[in-house]
């Protein structure tokens, strides 16, 4: 196979690092050692393709046959083409995370009800690594995908009335997979496993029931160029103690959201327009090892749509419904969450379960859950893309922001 010039690979590599690695490469500090320049030492490139047939969970009447054709929507097929890289075997990041890889992919999705759902195309970043090794050629790996899917046919009262599941032409795409990785030859690998997928617009538009699938994945990957053998490096983790084992993340974020109100058990109403959301997290974490961190987080959020029910202007309804602005104390909530984080090169995945401690009104009462992806632009600055649920089931809002990590 003819290889692309190194200049092109370096451009792709820089894009994937999202500006975090400048023209000369950036030095990452781990313990007391400085990482070699990952561009100068040459990353290892890979391309792969896979197919993912899936079962669609019947979470809504539309999937059970309440659609234009009167047939169940229970299957989906996706074809993926991806590029990924591993850091050079000579770099310290590769020696600390020898099996980690990351990249960008594109996927074409098709459903039986194309006329009502469309054939969305997903563009995403992904990262994976090894979980366990069974032999010199066979391992169990994991991978996550995160991006956006375009081309959905959304709900329309006149032209697409049955599809009251998808309310946006663009939806988030999130997946997690576990698979066997079999090395056929030094440059070819065959993968096969299971994949879980969720599509959602993050409550930025209604309807937002979400599309959830589970299915198989089978793929073939090809490594480009030659790869040198691994070198042993002392990782120094066992020497960390006291303050060295703590880091502190501070995040500010914002987004918009749609809001619906249930006036009673049978009658509800979608409020026209969008509402603003803003907040911050302060998250001290204990460094368990190079992969995992855990801790607590102080979370504060202002939601312009919270607790509107009691402030409706009497006599207004439908498209002309109006509300008095609630007091600030009724639209802000402060809580504490338990956090766990998977820490890898460039990306960290953070999950949390919390409970609001200071709040007023029913809309901010109870538990909340957070899933967030942190993309590091430098050693300390990162982009934050998160999603919050309420009481383990109700979609709340997106959390789009920027953060700073104090410490390691």
Tokens of 30: 């781990």
Q: What is the pLDDT of residue 23?
A: 29
pLDDT tens, 38-77? 545 678 999 999 999 999 999 889 999 999 989 999 999 9
- Decide if 246 contacts 287 (C-beta within 8 A): yes
Question: Does pLDDT of 338 surpass 50?
Answer: yes
Break the chain into its structural domains and give their ranges: 6-224, 242-407
DSSP state of 92: H
- Decide if 140 contacts 180 (C-beta within 8 A): yes
Decide which of 403 and 228 is more confident.
403
Q: Which residue has the tokens 């439908």?
A: 318
Q: Which of 382, 306, 309 is nearest to 344 (CA)?
A: 382
- CA of 96: how far to CAs of 295, 317, 352, 405, in Å? 23, 60, 26, 20
Instruction: Give dist(CA 179, CA 182) in Å, integer.
Output: 10
| Measured CA angle at 397 (ends 394, 398), to 5 deg | 135
Q: Which of 140, 169, 172 is nearest to 153 (CA)?
A: 169
Phi-psi label, residue 203: left if phi above 0, alpha if psi -120 to 50, beta otherwise: left
Question: Does pLDDT of 226 surpass 50?
Answer: yes
Mean pLDDT for 381-385 is: 96
Give, for 10, the enclosing helix (H) or strand (E): helix 6-16
Q: What is the pLDDT of residue 88?
A: 86
Domain 6-224 class? mainly beta
Give the number of residues written for the chain: 408
List, in order, residues 6 or more apart from 156 with CB less than 8 Å away.
none
Decide which of 265 and 196 is more confident.
196
Q: Which of 353, 398, 401 is nearest to 208 (CA)?
A: 398
- CATH architecture assignment, domain 242-407: Beta Barrel (2.40)
Q: What is the pLDDT of residue 9?
A: 43
Q: Which of 360, 386, 385 is nearest to 371 (CA)?
A: 386
Q: What is the pLDDT of residue 384?
A: 97
Q: What is the pLDDT of residue 95?
A: 83
- Decide if 216 contacts 50 (C-beta within 8 A): no
Question: Does pLDDT of 342 surpass 90?
Answer: yes
Question: Does pLDDT of 11 surpass 50?
Answer: no
Domains 6-224 and 242-407 equal at CATH topology level: yes
pLDDT tens, 165-188? 999 999 999 999 999 999 999 899
Query: What is the residue-averaged pLDDT of the chain?
Result: 85
Question: Does pLDDT of 332 surpass 90?
Answer: yes
| Measured CA angle at 381 (ends 350, 150), to 5 deg | 60
Q: What is the pLDDT of residue 26?
A: 34
Least confident span in 24-28, 299-303, 340-344, 371-375? 24-28
Question: Does pLDDT of 241 surpass 80?
Answer: no
pLDDT tens, 186-195? 899 999 999 9
How far is C-alpha 354 from the chain's CA centre? 19
Q: Which residue has the tokens 């070819």?
A: 188
Instruction: Give dist(CA 25, CA 3) in Å, integer.
Output: 22
């Amino acid at each position: 196979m003819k290889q692309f010039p190194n200049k092109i690979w370096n451009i792709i590599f820089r894009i994937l690092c999202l500006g975090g690695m400048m023209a000369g490469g950036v030095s990452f500090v781990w313990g007391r050692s400085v990482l070699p320049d990952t561009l100068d030492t040459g990353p290892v490139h890979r391309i792969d393709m896979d197919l993912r047939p899936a079962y669609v969970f019947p979470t809504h009447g539309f999937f059970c046959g309440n659609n234009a054709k009167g047939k169940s929507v229970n299957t989906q097929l996706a074809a993926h083409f991806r590029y990924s890289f591993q850091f050079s075997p000579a770099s310290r990041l590769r020696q600390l995370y020898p099996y980690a890889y990351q990249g960008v992919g594109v996927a074409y999705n098709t459903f039986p009800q194309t006329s009502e759902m469309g054939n969305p195309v997903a563009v995403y970043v992904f990262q994976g690594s090894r979980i366990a090794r069974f032999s010199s050629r066979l391992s169990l790996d994991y991978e996550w995908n995160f991006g956006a899917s375009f081309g959905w046919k959304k709900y329309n009262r006149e032209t697409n009335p049955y599809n009251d599941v998808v309310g946006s032409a663009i939806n988030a795409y999130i997946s997690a997979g576990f698979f066997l990785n079999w090395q056929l030859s030094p440059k070819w690998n065959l993968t096969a496993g299971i994949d879980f997928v969720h599509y959602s617009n993050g409550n930025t538009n209604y309807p937002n029931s979400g599309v959830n699938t589970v299915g198989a994945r089978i793929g073939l990957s090809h490594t480009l160029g030659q790869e040198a053998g691994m070198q042993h490096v002392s990782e120094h983790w066992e020497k960390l103690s006291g303050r060295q084992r703590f880091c502190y993340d501070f995040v500010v974020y914002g987004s918009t959201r749609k809001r619906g109100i249930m006036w009673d058990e049978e009658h509800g109403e979608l409020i026209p327009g969008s509402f603003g959301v803003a907040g911050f997290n302060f998250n001290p974490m204990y460094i368990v090892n190079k992969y995992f961190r855990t801790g607590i987080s102080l979370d504060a959020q202002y939601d312009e749509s919270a607790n509107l029910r009691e402030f409706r202007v009497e006599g207004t309804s439908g498209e002309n419904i109006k509300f008095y602005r609630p007091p600030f104390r009724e639209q802000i909530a402060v809580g504490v969450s338990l956090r766990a984080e998977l820490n890898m090169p460039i990306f960290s995945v953070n999950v949390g379960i919390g409970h609001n401690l200071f709040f007023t009104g029913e809309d901010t009462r109870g538990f909340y859950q957070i899933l967030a992806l942190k993309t590091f632009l430098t050693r300390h600055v990162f982009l934050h893309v998160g999603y919050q649920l309420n009481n383990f089931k109700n979609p709340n809002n997106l959390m789009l922001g920027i953060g700073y990590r104090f410490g390691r």
